[in-house]
Amino acid sequence: MFIFTTSYCQNTHEIIFTITNPLVIKKQYPNATKVNVEIFVQDLQDSLFLYYFNQYVNPSYSISDWKREFYKEATIGLNCVIENKNNRIILPILTGTSFKNPKDEIKNAMSRTFASYEQKFYRKQLDEKEVFDYDLAKYEIKNEIQKLELFPLLNEYHQNFPKGKYYLYFVYSFYETIESKFYPSIFLDNNKPNDDKIFRGYFVSNKVKLIVE
């Protein structure tokens, strides 16, 4: 009897993910909340790819006070986490929208959030290929130290924050043993890199102050 199995080992790379803003300001919509980050991968010899690593970062629904480490097994990709001044995690609120016209519902389903040059959020309707690329969100690390800008989508899911001081950090987790109907499969990526170039594992950023104005 022959049994065929496919297994994936975790990368030997360690990623240090640092928020370089000493302070993050959240303003009213449509103003985008920009966060500067730095990725450090020691002894990087070749490109390393992060899947589901979008510049526009959704908050996590899986991380709560009693499951702070839960993201390692259950979350996919890059997520942001918000805590209050007592270090209690604030879960996002997802508000559904009903549409009288089916065309409007389809248009909304095919639209995604972007930030303009003036750092204003806006929604843009995409075609199927563009939606796939946006949701797959494959990010390439080419250098040992790489800087980029992220935009947490706090306005969409944390609309009623009282003014005050909070804390923000990012978590990332990716293992192919975890499936989600909300994300496209990486095996549908026509330009999927070799397995040894795909990061499998998790990392957590530092925590910074978030001021809601």
What is the Cα–Cα distance from 23 to 154, expressed in whole angstroms?
16
What is the DSSP track for 15-54? EEEEE--SEEEE-STTB---EEEEEEETT--S-EEETT--
What pLDDT sits at residue 9? 46
Q: Residue 1's pLDDT is what?
A: 41
Contact 52, 76 (CB under 8 A): yes
pLDDT of residue 193: 95
pTM for the whole structure = 0.87
pLDDT at 95: 61
Give me the pLDDT at residue 97, please: 62
Q: What is the pLDDT of residue 5?
A: 35
Give pLDDT tens digits for 134-192.
999 999 999 999 999 999 998 766 667 788 999 999 999 998 766 666 788 898 999 99
List the helix and strand counts (H, then E) for the chain: 4, 13
**Strand partners of residue 81:** 169
| Cα separation values, 194 from 47, 76, 191, Å | 10, 20, 10
CB-CB contact of 54 with 60 (8 Å): no
Query: In 10 A of CB 62, how many CB atoms?
Result: 15
Here the tokens at position 4 are 């065929």
Closest CA to 175 of 72, 39, 80, 67: 72
Rounded average pLDDT per 10-residue block, the chain, 213 residues: 40 88 91 96 94 93 63 78 89 67 80 95 95 96 97 76 90 77 85 94 94 90
Q: What is the pLDDT of residue 92?
A: 78
